[in-house]
Structure formats: C-alpha cells, structure tokens
Structure 1
Amino acid sequence: MKIIGGNSGTREHVADAYSDFYTNALIVTAKGLELELPRVLTTYMIINFSRNRFEGHIPNIIGDLVGLRTLNLFHNGLEGIIPASLQHLSVLESMDLSSNKMGGEIP
C-alpha cells in the first residue's frame, strides 16, 4: 500500500527480545502520518486503516499476522484481487474492504 502526500517519520523496533513475534518491514500511513515500521508485530489483534488514501494492493504479508481479529481497510483506493494469504488469518472475526476497487473471492 502507498499513500499520496503526507509527512514522513520512522518508528524503530524497541527490543530484540521479541524477535519471534515480528516479520518483515511494512510502510503504513495512519490518518495522514506516514510511518515506516522496520518490524511488524505478528500478534496484532486489530488493524484499522480505514479512510486513509491508500492505493495499490493489499500485501500478501498481511496473512502472516496470525493474531489478527479485526481488519478494517474500508474507504481507500485499494485495488486488485483479495490476497489468498488472508486464509491464514484463522482467528479473524471481522473484515471490511468496502469502498475500494477490490475483486475476486474472499479466501
């Protein structure tokens, strides 16, 4: 996902003691603030990136967030096929991809 415009900043990983809970880097924008997360906690439970100006596709790596229960990406400019990697989100209870240009089946 990418955003058009916004301020830049970085957030650094605090402790390597939890390295088993982290995966690859991810660049996100939260309500106009662009952040680069060098490591992403795979046990996040809720992600709400709704009403941002995200464009592009949903990255496959989102399927590695095994603790994810809620995923809200509605009202962005996302397009393409819903990634098959979402089938790995076995505890996912709620997902909203509406008001995007997504296609395909929900895995």
Structure 2
Amino acid sequence: MKRARSQVLAKRMPGDLSEYSVIQTKENRWTVKAKVSRIVEFIEKPDQPQTLDSDIMAVGRYVLSADIWPELERTQPGAWGRIQLTDAIAELAKKQSVDAML
C-alpha cells in the first residue's frame, strides 16, 4: 500500500521570523506548477532566524501521514516545556519526504 506524503502549508514572510515556525526547503527549489518543495529543516520560533537562509514560514495547516504518531511519541519536550508538533515534523522530514506548499 502506498502511503501519502506529509505536507505543510507555507508562505513567504520577509522580515523577522522569530515569532513563527520557519521552514528551510531543499535548495529553495520549488516546482513551477504547484510551488512544492521538500522540507529539510523546520524550526519553531527560532532564537536566531537571521542565521537561516529562508523567508518561509508555516501557516499552521498540516496534512500528515500516520508516521507522525511514532515521531510524536519519541519527541522530547521543547519550547516552553511542551512537545512541539514542529519538532516531530522536523524529525519525520529527516526520514521521509515532507513537502512545503506555497
């Protein structure tokens, strides 16, 4: 059975991204038709967003495969002592394609 790929809705946001979930995509390449690119890094409210080569933020809409559940179980508390969905998605993106869609 073929599994669906996880996707994150994103948008470009020039300026200070320290209050947002920042996405770094594979070589900032986007397909022309659908504006889709593979996520390589996903950081919840980065301390130093200027060190990231990205102006792309997540807008809080996700379509995730069932593979996210084991990642959430393994995810340690992060920001504010809470388990962060973005941390689990970042780990999932290391193991399989997770796409950002502009």
Q: Where is the strand percentage greater, Structure 1 or Structure 2?
A: 1
Structure with bigger RCO (C-alpha 8 Å, 6+ apart): 2
Normalised by the length of structure 1, the TM-score is: 0.24
| TM-score when normalising by structure 2 | 0.25
Larger fraction in helix: 2
